[in-house]
Amino acid sequence: MTDMNGDHGTEGTDPAILTEELTRTYRMGGQDIPALRGVNLVVPEGRYMSLKGRSGSGKTTLLNCIGGLDTPTSGVVRIFGESIDQWTERKLTMWRRMTVGFVFQSFGLMPSLSAYENVELMLRMSGAKGRQRRAKAVECLELVGLTRWMHHRPFELSGGQQQRVAIARSLANSPRLILADEPTGELDTQTAREILGLFQKIVREQQVTVLMVTHDGLSDEYVDEILYLSDGAIAEQQPAVRERDPAIPNPADVRVLPVSDVQAAAPDTEEAPDPPSAPAES
Ligand SMILES: Nc1ncnc2c1ncn2[C@@H]1O[C@H](COP(=O)(O)OP(=O)(O)OP(=O)(O)O)[C@@H](O)[C@H]1O
Ligand SMILES: [Mg+2]
């Protein structure tokens, strides 16, 4: 579990994700549709991994089973050593809020709320107190480079900026794992690069693990490893072949910093944030 300062508590040697013989079969119109057929997967902590495969190969189903949004038919799902497959819905919901950040293709922002309020809502839902909530929301928006836009509502932002808000929101509760389903699907090439690079920065600087479903060939230049699904099973898992930017340290060499220290170490070039307008206490 993470605390509100972004400290990841008891870091162990357990992989971020481990699945054993994971299956998920949907029943539709009297027919069984096997979406996952025995997935054995290990994703070490601090890895940036893409998940590829044809439409219908089971990518979203796998992501949902890993994030506790869907219940496997059989098999084991262990996240940071905890078997989540037998948990009650209530326990899963609490765990998800504190441990997993979700990012989707269509952003999923609340249209009537500003960028700041969208992020802050996440913290409100997990029970964070007012002052801490405000500071953390600002911190997350700074991290994704949106300080100047935090009082804009989604329709006043570009697609890339909206996806940055969604990423800031996914970071609000300092998750150890981020699950993203085609996060660059609606973005142009340049903006997609920004988002792919932003995930890379988050993985490097905060030791977060990212599993990202993508059809985007560009992603190979950013991720550490690529996982291919075919017909509900892993066809291949291979390291991404790319020129390593010498400016980007190896994940193994990166010191884990809480978000606030990362900000201090690498200040944003943007203007200092306006203090957020204080939302009413709930
Ligand atoms: N809720 C559901 N009910 C019935 N069948 C489903 C359900 N969700 C997924 N499936 C089926 O499971 C299989 C895998 O679907 P999934 O959404 O995981 O594929 P995907 O790899 O994410 O595809 P895409 O790239 O198009 O998003 C498909 O055959 C799909 O029709
Ligand atoms: Mg999908």
At 12, list the tokens. Answer: 């162990």
Which residue in 75, 73, 126, 120 sits closest to 99, CA to CA?
126
Does the beta carbon of 58 sit less than 6 angstroms from any atom of ligand 1?
yes
Within a domain: 85? no
Query: Which of 24, 32, 60, 71 gets mutated to test ligand 1 (max ligand atoms within 8 A of its CB)?
Result: 60
What's the CATH code of the domain at 242? 3.40.50.300
Q: Please report the pLDDT score of residue 69 as a whole number.
A: 92
Within a domain: 276? no
| CA dist., res. 48 & res. 68, Å (int) | 20
Which residue in 236, 245, 147, 237 sits closest to 196, CA to CA?
245
Tell the residue nearest (CA) to atom 31 of ligand 1: 56
Q: 61 CA distance to ligand 1 centroid (A)?
A: 6
Does the beta carbon of 57 sit less than 6 angstroms from any atom of ligand 1?
yes
Instruction: Note the ligand closest to the C-alpha atom of 36.
Output: 1
Q: 79 CA distance to ligand 2 centroid (A)?
A: 21
CA angle 117, 196, 234 (to 5 degrees): 110
CA angle 186, 97, 79 (to 5 degrees): 90
Q: 234 CA distance to ligand 2 centroid (A)?
A: 15
Q: Please report the pLDDT score of residue 11 as a whole number.
A: 52
CA distances from 203 to 14, 109, 196, 210, 223 (A): 17, 23, 11, 7, 10
Does the beta carbon of 66 sit less than 6 angstroms from any atom of ligand 1?
no
Tell the residue nearest (CA) to atom 2 of ligand 1: 26
Helices first, then strands: H and E counts in the chain: 7, 10
Euclidean distance between the first and final Cα of the chain, in Å? 25
Within a domain: 2? no
Within a domain: 196? yes
At 138, list the tokens. Answer: 């600002």
Range of the domain at 139: 47-63+91-265
Which residue in 155, 143, 153, 171 sits closest to 4, CA to CA?
171
At 52, list the tokens. Answer: 């590829």
Within a domain: 199? yes
Instruction: Note the ligand closest to the C-alpha atom of 31.
Output: 1
Does the beta carbon of 28 sit less than 6 angstroms from any atom of ligand 1?
yes
Q: Please report the pLDDT score of residue 248 as a whole number.
A: 52
- Pick the atom of ligand 1 nearest to 62's CA: 18
pLDDT tens sequence for the chain (282 residues) = 444 444 454 455 899 999 999 999 999 999 999 999 999 999 999 999 999 999 999 999 999 999 999 999 999 999 999 999 888 999 999 899 899 999 998 889 999 999 999 999 999 998 999 999 999 999 999 999 999 999 999 999 999 999 999 999 999 999 999 999 999 998 999 999 999 999 999 999 988 999 999 999 999 999 999 999 999 999 999 998 765 555 555 444 444 444 444 444 444 444 444 445 545 444
Query: Which of 25, 50, 54, 57 gets mutated to test ligand 1 (max ligand atoms within 8 A of its CB)?
Result: 57
| CA dist., res. 39 & res. 269, Å (int) | 44
Q: Please report the pLDDT score of residue 6 as a whole number.
A: 44
Within a domain: 278? no
Q: Please report the pLDDT score of residue 246 as a whole number.
A: 54
| CA dist., res. 107 & res. 91, Å (int) | 25
**Domain total for the chain?**
1
Within a domain: 270? no
Q: What number of residues does the chain have?
A: 282
Provide the 8-state DSSP code for 202: H
- Pick the atom of ligand 1 nearest to 61's CA: 18
Helix (H), strand (E), coil (C) string for 83-138 = ECCCCCHHHHHHHHHHHEEEEECCCCCCCCCCHHHHHHHHHHHCCCCHHHHHHHHH
Q: Please report the pLDDT score of residue 85 as a whole number.
A: 83
3-state secondary structure of 99: helix
Strand order in the sheet with 17-28: 31-43, 17-28, 74-79, 82-83
Which residue in 9, 1, 4 sits closest to 256, CA to CA?
9
Q: 58 CA distance to ligand 1 centroid (A)?
A: 6
Within a domain: 74? no
